[in-house]
Copies of this chain bind each other. A is one copy, B any other.
């Protein structure tokens, strides 16, 4: 059996009791280590808590050598650990599809992901529209289609969860051009970088935007679910003056609020001061 085990968001102890049982009994345990991170927790700490070895699985292993992960999973249990919920990222569907092709059954052990834990912001989950991803811009690549989706959500009064880019073990283009296989240092987009990119995209497209502008109220969150989480409530223009510290960060563009949401936003804003 292939077990895809969600680790939740904050601490090592955010694994479920059922997930921990699976991890302890599995013949091999992999940790997916490139689409997310547990705030401030490294592989050694996980190994200590689980009392067993954990194999870090980078993008190369999961996408190009998935068979290595699946080997033996037809007769024994293999656990594949994912920060958040196991099906948050497309890549893991791919692993299930490969397992299925080899006749290997799978089971999901669910956990919190940012897609539902964002409720910590005080905003109601059923008032969110489509989620968007904000990628790191480069000098020559500045996609901004997320603007259309945020605007469409706002037109319907809905909040938008913006997932911020993560670059872990990305091949260096410069090195590749020199014929070498080297990796860029890991980068995690912060709320202020996301706000900068959003403000630049809004400035460029402002003539066609009815709702989205620099004065729109936002919620910036950092390390949701951990004991040192931070939540900032401010306008898009001002939120890039906040420093929310270590990754991971996410940003919500707020739509129409319910009075209960307004009260909750005040409470969470008071808990995090500039």
Q: Are A11 and B18 in contact (CB-based, < 8 A)?
A: yes
B contact residues around A111 at 8 Å (CB): 8, 16, 111-112
Tell me the smallest distance from the CB of A1 to a CB of chain B, in Å: 12
* 0/1 interface trace, chain A 13-26, chain B, CB 8 Å (1 if under): 11111101100000
CB-based closest 10 A-B pairs? A87-B119, A110-B112, A13-B18, A13-B17, A110-B117, A115-B116, A116-B116, A126-B131, A113-B116, A85-B116
Taken together, the copies of this chain in the complex come to 2
* 0/1 interface trace, chain A 139-170, chain B, CB 8 Å (1 if under): 00000000000001000101000010000000
User: For the complex, is A133 an interface residue (Cβ under 8 Å from B)?
Assistant: yes
Q: Are A264 and B93 in contact (CB-based, < 8 A)?
A: yes
- Interface band, chain A: 35 or more
Candidate in A17, A100, A108 with the most chain B CB atoms within 10 angstroms: A17
User: For the complex, is A120 an interface residue (Cβ under 8 Å from B)?
Assistant: yes
Q: Which residue of B lies closest to A21 (CB)?
A: B13
A115 vs B114: C-alpha distance in the bound complex, in angstroms? 11
Which listed residue, B16, B128, B129, touches A8 by the CB 8 Å rule? B16
Q: Are A129 and B130 in contact (CB-based, < 8 A)?
A: yes
Tell me the smallest distance from the CB of A123 to a CB of chain B, in Å: 9
Q: Are B11 and A14 in contact (CB-based, < 8 A)?
A: no
User: For the complex, is A208 an interface residue (Cβ under 8 Å from B)?
Assistant: no
Q: Are A17 and B20 in contact (CB-based, < 8 A)?
A: yes
Identify which of residues 238-274 in chain A touch chain B, using a CB-to-CB cut-off of 8 Å.
258, 260-261, 263-264, 267
User: For the complex, is A90 an interface residue (Cβ under 8 Å from B)?
Assistant: yes
Tell me the smallest distance from the CB of A137 to a CB of chain B, in Å: 20
Tell me the smallest distance from the CB of A158 to a CB of chain B, in Å: 6
Q: Are A124 and B8 in contact (CB-based, < 8 A)?
A: no
User: For the complex, is A135 an interface residue (Cβ under 8 Å from B)?
Assistant: no
